[in-house]
């Protein structure tokens, strides 16, 4: 017998979400998550994946993944600290450290648990964390888990950060203070003001933590936001995911050897959760090698991003102030945004609507994620569909 309390909790809340239009419907994808995807029996131009460089479906990655299955099997068999550390994990971490230009790297099973792991391994209830108000959910959860005092600063507002850093230091209440930010903010495509953040951190002796989930593979010719600004020596934690531009699964922190050492003995998902599979580790290593050998995919990503942006802007859409290939198309009203996304879908473009509470009320948008794998023909077709739907719904 199931609990009556649980049943009513679940049924009431699910019904409430559905009524408020906040229930997330999932569209299962048949086959690969490439520049086009198959949903049901329809093939759509895919503008919603984080597969920035098209590596999730790349032949060279598939090949090394298959080889790793043959040579190492399908599972790591244990947590990293028992005997789940395979040579493939160490190769990946070595490659990532070279790519990021840091002394060492620790890898985790996902970007999400990497943030949970790394923040809470270093910060505790005697500390404070200055966190950009638009930081990703995994940062928020990592901060909460640490039990440090969380001090939110206004989005990319350096005066507010400086003021709050000063107050925190002068209060004398905290042992350590961290400033934490996304490198690239994925809802608008804007870049964190890292040079200023690093200056403020130096002034107040703050620990610096950059979540570069959307900057790695994209900025700094692929090496990320920190490299983009030439600040490799000034950021303590360069966190990244292996699930977006790298195309596989996993997360990592790049930093000084003593930091990585500490995370290996203190971060709980590393100690208590099984390592990523051999195929994942091998494919990620291959992806990093590809990025280190050539900037071709990175250049293609930017070319496609600029092409899509120019096309939508020319049609009169509000594409916000993105500084990266992420291209929001701001519609405003929540229902209108959802209708817009649905009509795009019916016409052949898969681009998800993003509305409150993920973004502020009245700034609903359809977010486009062009990738290096899109062809000009696909982007032209998408732009033509945007024009048709935009005119039909009176957005342009
Ligand atoms: N940080 C940011 C900024 C992200 O956008 C995401 C993924 N949405 C994550 C962390 C989590 O990464 P992963 O998907 O690898 O768990």
Q: What CATH number does the domain containing 257 carry?
A: 3.40.640.10
Rounded CA-CA distance 191/173 in Å is: 31
176 and 317 co-located in one domain: no
Summarised one tens digit per residue, pLDDT across range 252-264 is 999 999 999 999 9
Candidates 296, 209, 281, 210; CA nearest to 246 is 281
Q: Within the chain, what is the greatest distance between any pair of CA atoms?
A: 62
Determine the atom of ligand 1 nearest the C-alpha atom of 186. Answer: 5
Asked whether residue 193 is assigned to any structural domain, the reply reads yes
Q: 242, 273, 293: which is the final residue of a domain?
A: 293
Cβ neighbours for 372, distance < 8 A, ≥ 6 positions apart: 52, 53, 54, 297, 298, 300, 301, 304
**What are the structure tokens assigned to 299, written together?**
């250049």
Asked whether residue 231 is assigned to any structural domain, the reply reads yes
Summarised one tens digit per residue, pLDDT across range 144-193 is 999 999 999 999 999 999 999 999 999 999 999 999 999 999 999 999 99
**What are the structure tokens assigned to 306, written together?**
């600029």
Asked whether residue 164 is assigned to any structural domain, the reply reads yes
216 and 276 co-located in one domain: yes
304 and 378 co-located in one domain: yes
- For residue 117, CA distances in Å to 145, 326, 352 come to 9, 28, 30
Q: What is the pLDDT of residue 18?
A: 86
Asked whether residue 30 is assigned to any structural domain, the reply reads yes
User: Residue with structure tokens 């190492």?
Assistant: 72
**Mutate which of 50, 134, 138, 247 for ligand 1 pocket (most atoms within 8 A of beta carbon):** 138
Q: Helix, strand, coil shares of the chain as percentages rounded to 5?
A: 45, 15, 35
Q: Would you put residue 49 in left (φ > 0), alpha (ψ -120 to 50) or beta?
A: beta
67 and 159 co-located in one domain: yes
Rounded CA-CA distance 365/340 in Å is: 9
Q: Would the pLDDT of 111 be above 90?
A: yes
Rounded CA-CA distance 207/237 in Å is: 8
Q: What is the pLDDT of residue 23?
A: 81
269 and 341 co-located in one domain: no
Rounded distance from Cα 301 to ligand 1 centre (Å):
19
Q: What is the pLDDT of residue 132?
A: 98
Q: What is the pLDDT of residue 186?
A: 94
Burial of 15 (0-12, 13-18, 19+ CB in 10 A): exposed
Summarised one tens digit per residue, pLDDT across range 29-77 is 999 999 999 999 999 999 999 999 999 999 999 999 999 999 999 999 9
204 and 141 co-located in one domain: yes
35 and 47 co-located in one domain: yes
Which residues are identified as catalytic?
186, 214, 244
Q: Would the pLDDT of 20 be above 80?
A: no
Contact 210, 245 (CB under 8 A): no
Nearest CA, atom 5, ligand 1: 213
Rounded distance from Cα 55 to ligand 1 centre (Å):
17
- pLDDT band of residue 297 (cuts 50, 70, 90) is very high
Summarised one tens digit per residue, pLDDT across range 299-332 is 999 999 999 999 999 999 999 999 999 999 999 9
- pLDDT band of residue 14 (cuts 50, 70, 90) is very high
Asked whether residue 128 is assigned to any structural domain, the reply reads yes
Rounded CA-CA distance 118/124 in Å is: 12
**Mutate which of 112, 245, 280 for ligand 1 pocket (most atoms within 8 A of beta carbon):** 112
247 and 348 co-located in one domain: no
How many domains, the chain? 2
Summarised one tens digit per residue, pLDDT across range 250-296 is 999 999 999 999 999 999 999 999 999 999 999 999 999 999 999 99
161 and 197 co-located in one domain: yes
Q: 250, 275, 293: which is the final residue of a domain?
A: 293
Rounded CA-CA distance 391/393 in Å is: 5
229 and 299 co-located in one domain: no
Q: What is the pLDDT of residue 286?
A: 98
**Bridge-partner residues for 349, per DSSP?**
45
Question: Which residues does ligand 1 sit against, CB inside 6 Å?
Answer: 110-112, 115, 136, 138, 182, 186, 211, 213-214, 241, 243, 251
Rounded CA-CA distance 220/228 in Å is: 4
261 and 323 co-located in one domain: no
Q: 293, 316, 351: which is the final residue of a domain?
A: 293
Summarised one tens digit per residue, pLDDT across range 352-394 is 999 988 888 899 999 999 999 999 999 999 999 999 999 999 9
Q: What is the pLDDT of residue 19?
A: 85
Asked whether residue 17 is assigned to any structural domain, the reply reads no
Q: Would the pLDDT of 24 be above 90?
A: no
**Least trusted range by pLDDT, from 125-134, 200-209, 224-233, 352-361:** 352-361
Asked whether residue 7 is assigned to any structural domain, the reply reads no
Nearest CA, atom 14, ligand 1: 111
ipTM higher than threshold 0.95: yes
Summarised one tens digit per residue, pLDDT across range 73-106 is 999 999 999 999 999 999 999 999 999 999 999 9
Q: DSSP readout, 10-73?
A: HHHHHHHHHHTT------PPBS--SSEEEETTEEEEE-----TTSGGG-HHHHHHHHHHHHHH-
Contact 197, 161 (CB under 8 A): yes
347 and 268 co-located in one domain: no
Asked whether residue 89 is assigned to any structural domain, the reply reads yes
Q: What is the pLDDT of residue 358?
A: 85
What CATH number is associated with residue 386? 3.90.1150.10
Owning domain of residue 309:
22-51+295-392
């Amino acid at each position: 017998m199931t609990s009556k309390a649980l049943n009513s909790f679940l049924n009431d809340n699910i019904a409430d979400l559905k009524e408020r239009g906040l229930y997330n419907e999932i569209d299962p994808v048949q086959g690969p998550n490439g520049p086009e995807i198959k949903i049901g029996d329809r093939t759509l131009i895919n503008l919603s994946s984080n597969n920035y460089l098209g590596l999730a479906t790349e032949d060279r990655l598939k090949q090394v993944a298959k080889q790793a299955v043959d040579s190492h099997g399908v599972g790591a068999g244990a947590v990293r600290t028992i005997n789940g550390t395979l040579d493939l994990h160490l190769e990946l971490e070595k490659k990532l450290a070279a790519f990021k230009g840091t002394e060492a790297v620790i890898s985790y099973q996902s970007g999400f648990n990497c943030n949970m792991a790394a923040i809470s391994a270093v910060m505790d209830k005697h500390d404070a964390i200055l966190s950009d108000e638009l930081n990703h959910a995994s940062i928020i959860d990592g901060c909460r888990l640490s039990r440090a005092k969380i001090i939110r600063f206004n989005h990319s507002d350096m005066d507010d950060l400086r003021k709050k850093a000063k107050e925190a230091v002068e209060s004398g209440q905290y042992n350590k203070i961290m400033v934490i930010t996304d490198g690239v903010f994925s809802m608008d495509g804007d870049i964190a003001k890292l040079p200023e953040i690093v200056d403020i951190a130096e002034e107040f002796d703050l620990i610096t933590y950059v979540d570069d989930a959307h900057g790695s593979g994209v900025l700094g010719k692929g090496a990320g936001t920190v490299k983009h600004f030439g600040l490799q020596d000034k950021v303590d934690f360069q966190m990244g995911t292996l699930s977006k531009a790298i195309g596989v699964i996993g997360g990592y922190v790049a930093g000084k050897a003593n930091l990585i050492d500490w995370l290996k003995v203190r971060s709980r998902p590393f100690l208590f959760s099984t390592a990523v599979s051999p195929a994942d580790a091998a494919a990620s290593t291959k992806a990093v090698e590809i990025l280190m050998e050539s900037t071709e995919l990175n250049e293609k990503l930017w070319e496609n991003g600029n092409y899509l942006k120019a096309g939508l802007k020319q049609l009169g859409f509000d594409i916000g102030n993105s500084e990266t290939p992420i291209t929001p198309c701001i519609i405003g009203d929540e229902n209108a945004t959802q209708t817009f996304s649905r009509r795009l879908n019916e016409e052949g473009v898969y681009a998800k609507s993003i509305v409150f509470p993920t973004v502020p009320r009245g700034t609903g948008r359809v977010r486009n994620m062009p990738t290096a794998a899109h062809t000009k023909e696909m982007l032209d077709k998408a732009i033509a569909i945007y024009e048709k739907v935009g005119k039909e719904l009176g957005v342009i």
